[in-house]
Amino acid sequence: MKEFQDWLVAKKSITKPDTYVSDVRTLLQGLASVDKYEMDFTVYVPALIAYGRADLAKQVLACVYADACLYCHSQKLSYFKRYCEFLACKPTKIKTEIDIKLEEAELKDIERLLEKRQVWVCDNTIARYLKRIAGDKKSTFEELLNIRIYSWQRPVFPLDTIKKILKDDKDDYMTTWVNEIRQQIKVYISKERDFIELKKVRAFDFCRGKEKTLYAIIDNKKEIVYTPFADDEKEFEPMRVTDLKDVSIDHDLPLDSIVKSILRNKNSVLKKVVEEYANDPKLEYGEMEIDKKALKKEMDEIRQATTYSLMERCENSRKSNNTNFLWFEKKGKNNIYIVADNVIGNDGETYRIYFTDKDRTKRMELSAQS
């Protein structure tokens, strides 16, 4: 802690570092307790690093952060972030220069505490510090979700190719596209389908007891996370998962159907990209004349055509990729989803059946040809 204080003065030009040190010590000593078993993690965190178990030090700090979000204001959390940054600068030095012995029984106690929960920190800055402390190559929460979004690649939606086409743009469009999807993912917190957006969640706490409960940690609040089901009529229930790998990003409406709606337009830029690369996979994107502005507009339409939510992976796997609409169209600022077209009514007129993105009630209107 004395070295942390000196580091604050030298690296951050903080003239009164004692407040930082005092608050961080309080967090480490008081909030990392499990089952009323308290340990002085001001000693154990550097001890674990020195002992060669920086992976456990990373888990301890993640748990402390999740607990602190429930009780502390943002200023104290910023002190904790500084402490993680300090440790991220020092793991090699701690491992080679600090002589702190851990008894085998102490190590077992720490492992016992941590095996009951796993915390994924959503704040990417803190998550990167924890990654450096552990010295591992595991993706942070944000990195992992970004990877999953980029994995939506398919023949009708060549996302890798689109990324190459747009990567040189100064506005870094694809990063923004992915970030907006990730931040707006719905996290359901009740069976009545109340939700919060992912950008408001500070951490996810996987409690690995008999109930296998997943909690979303928000400012001063801890909410049970609920899952939708493949059967849309079924009532939501709490997620019973033990790791992030068991949680999927669900498209409310299937991505294939959304993309195919875009490809129906004969002037679609995305359609041109799909056809060009289907004909010649070795074709360099620089050889194609692509209207990037029009491509971005179509990508925005794809992103905005559905909502996204967290869902148990097993339920997401059971969910059919089929849907009850043929294509969607823009209508003002909203979308309408065409369920059936060219339906002959009793009056002999031709109708189409649709629902909107605001209301799933099916309605009829005269087809354009009528």
pLDDT at res. 124 = 96
Provide the mean pLDDT of the chain: 85
Cβ burial, residue 72 (10 Å; 0-12/13-18/19+): buried
pLDDT at res. 37 = 45
pLDDT at res. 36 = 41
pLDDT at res. 85 = 94
Ranges in the chain, pLDDT < 50: 32-37, 370
pLDDT at res. 316 = 84
pLDDT at res. 363 = 82
pLDDT at res. 370 = 46
Whole-prediction pTM value?
A: 0.85
